[in-house]
Structure 1
Amino acid sequence: MNWQTISDAMSYVLFTYSGSSITVSQVLQLPLLLLLAWFVVTRIGKLIRRALYKRNVAPDAVHLFSRIYLVIAIAILLVTSLEILNIPIKAFAFVSGAVAIGVGFGAQNIINNFISGWILMWERPIRIGDFLEIGETKGVVESINTRSTLIRRSDGVHMLVPNSHLLENTVTNWTLIDHNSRSTVTVGVAYGSDVELVALLIKQALDEREEIMKVPESSVLFADFGDNALIFDGIFWIYANSEADTRKIRSDIRFRLYQLFSEHGIEIAYPQRDIHIDGAISIERPLR
């Protein structure tokens, strides 16, 4: 097989469309060119993301820019591929119309989640690293994709939430403005306890914690006269990235309160019930 035979084979016309001939050479060149172009696009994308991270750009902004860059790159590659094959874009007008009809009937949820994902990335009501509360679920956003958002729950389990669900339902974003979070430790002491001493001990336990913010200042409230206890609330603000941080601090405060109450003779209340019996109680002896 000589070079002329190879050249003739590569120049063989596979089909013709609107006066444009598609040869074997064009069909074989296209995958190689696309592979090379995709390699260059991905490398440039990594370099851009690395440069943005060095400039301390927010992760969600970097993610949004990466998505826009990828969409533009894919569009350019698609148009370039059609130019290489000498296929006009209008040739896909009928196909695109059929696809649009199919999407309208069979892929409404997918398109809804896709558009919702772009809205989330553009408006940024939810960002990567935010701590969310969705119903009974709490977790940190790890990524916002075109169809769903990846959330890592407080127990370490990853959860995929459709993007439309985040826009159509009530979502509590604990860290939208900042990471400051208010928390409360509730404790009940026995009736007859020195309430002023109890308040001072709770305030001491709060002030000893370095994690608790000085501004706003922590406070102690005499919350209620309970059925079995005098109820006190210790209210404080902390800088927290997740629910685990808040639970850890509340646990440490409770340990310290138990120690302080024991040292000062303050009894932590527990449920008690007084039973009044009307009438005599008869006890039946077993027959022998």
Structure 2
Amino acid sequence: MPESLTQLLSFTVFTFNKHPFTLGEVLLVPVLVIAGWWLVGKLAHLATFRLRKSGASADSVHLFKRIFYIIALALLTITTLDILNVPLTAFAFLSGAIAIGFGFGAQNIINNFISGWILMWERPIRIGDFLEVDGARGSVEAINTRSTRIRRVDGVHMLIPNSKLLENTVINWTLIDYLTRTSVVVGVAYGSPSREVAALIEQQALKQEHILSEPKPVVIFQDFGDSALIFEVLFWVNATAERDLRQLRSELRFAIDDAFRDAGIVISYPQRDVHLDGTLIMQQAAPHQERQP
């Protein structure tokens, strides 16, 4: 039985580059690939786990994992070919043909692939950043080989080609820090004490927990509107998403409304004065006459 099994495994299946490949060598290839890839996955998981525990950022861990897999795949391929006694020069012509085909038929794919590596190396965009691209806002969840996955503020996922993030204007709200300036506009009725209104608005802004006291909120008497005195308060917050800004502005509006009610200050509403030229004559309607039979 062992001799017959040895003869079976020694059976030549095909010949490549004057090298005969036996059945045992052919069956050895998937075993090496599966075992090697399993070992690579375990090592990658262990390495990334230690990186996360050390406090490394998510994009650094992602970049390390990508480089580790590429190096491991190259070593696994070279080791497998070496065990099979296949020289790398045998694939020189094939690799050249594939490179030419990629150059002509997959320009966009290669462009996005290279752009993805540039994004990971230069790090103008990182995992967790809050971006604004073509009017859409969202947080970066993953930078993949071909595209970057962004989760919009409404929960919808966007897949944006990496080249688009490099070639077009992208607003990164959190590139350096999470400081963001926003504002709230309110109009009060004419006749309201303007300086008291400004003081109340500033006081309510400073009372908000998430509004920074430095830089200090600034209240501006913006304009004399058609039916209101317009005030605007500018303030800074640490915000990571648009929904945070909307919630903070809403809380400040609630606080300003309550303060104005307590102080007797009226938030204005649209008003129109109608002026009539000439004399207005009032006429009394004729009494209703009963119909004669």
Do both share a fold (TM > 0.5)?
yes
DSSP-derived class of the 1:255 partner: helix
1:154 aligns with 2:141: no
In the aligned structure 2, how far is the partner of 1:60 from the partner of 1:154? 21
**Aligned-pair Cα RMSD in Å:** 1.6
Q: Deviations over 1:41-65 (max 9, x none)?
A: 0000011001111110111111111
Residue 286 (structure 1) aligns with? none
1:9 aligns with 2:12: no
**Equivalent position amino acid for 2:220 in 1:** L
**Equivalent position amino acid for 2:189 in 1:** A
In the aligned structure 1, how far is the partner of 2:105 from the partner of 2:229? 60
Query: Gapped runs of 5+ residues in structure 2?
Result: 281-293
Q: Deviations over 1:12-57 (max 9, x none)?
A: 1122233322111011011011111111100000110011111101
Tell me: CA distance 1:3–1:263, structure 2 relative to 1, closer, same or farther (3 Å): same
Residue 99 (structure 1) aligns with? 98
Q: Deviations over 1:124-173 (max 9, x none)?
A: 00111111111211111111111111111111111111111111111111
Residue 124 (structure 1) aligns with? 123
> How do residues 236-275 of structure 1 correspond to structure 2 at under 5 angstroms?
236-275=235-274
Q: Is the 8 A contact 1:152 1:159 kept in 2?
A: yes
Tell me: CA distance 1:13–1:280, structure 2 relative to 1, closer, same or farther (3 Å): farther
Q: Is the 8 A contact 1:15 1:22 kept in 2?
A: yes
In the aligned structure 2, how far is the partner of 1:99 from the partner of 1:30? 22
In the aligned structure 2, how far is the partner of 1:215 from the partner of 1:53? 33
Report the more deviating stretch, 74-83 or 114-123.
Answer: 74-83
> How do residues 1-288 of structure 1 correspond to structure 2 at under 5 angstroms?
2-276=1-275
Q: Is the 8 A contact 1:22 1:86 kept in 2?
A: no
**Equivalent position amino acid for 1:15 in 2:** F
In the aligned structure 2, how far is the partner of 1:267 from the partner of 1:32? 79
Residue 289 (structure 2) aligns with? none
In the aligned structure 2, how far is the partner of 1:168 from the partner of 1:74? 31
Structure number with greater Rg is 2
In the aligned structure 2, how far is the partner of 1:17 from the partner of 1:151? 46
1:277 Cα deviation after fit: 5.7
DSSP-derived class of the 1:184 partner: strand
Q: Is the 8 A contact 1:30 1:84 kept in 2?
A: no
Residue 285 (structure 1) aligns with? none
1:280 Cα deviation after fit: 9.4
DSSP-derived class of the 1:49 partner: helix
DSSP-derived class of the 1:14 partner: strand
In the aligned structure 2, how far is the partner of 1:277 from the partner of 1:8? 114
In the aligned structure 2, how far is the partner of 1:126 from the partner of 1:154? 17
1:226 Cα deviation after fit: 2.1
Report the more deviating stretch, 271-280 or 159-168.
Answer: 271-280
In the aligned structure 2, how far is the partner of 1:168 from the partner of 1:226? 42
Q: Deviations over 1:50-84 (max 9, x none)?
A: 11111101111111111000110111111122222
Q: TM-score, normalised by structure 1?
A: 0.93
1:176 Cα deviation after fit: 0.7
Provide the identity percentage.
54
DSSP-derived class of the 1:16 partner: strand
DSSP-derived class of the 1:117 partner: helix
In the aligned structure 2, how far is the partner of 1:264 from the partner of 1:124? 51
DSSP-derived class of the 1:215 partner: coil
DSSP-derived class of the 1:193 partner: coil
Q: Is the 8 A contact 2:17 2:90 kept in 1?
A: no
Q: TM-score, normalised by structure 2?
A: 0.91
Query: Gapped runs of 5+ residues in structure 1?
Result: 282-288
Count residues with an aligned counterpart.
280
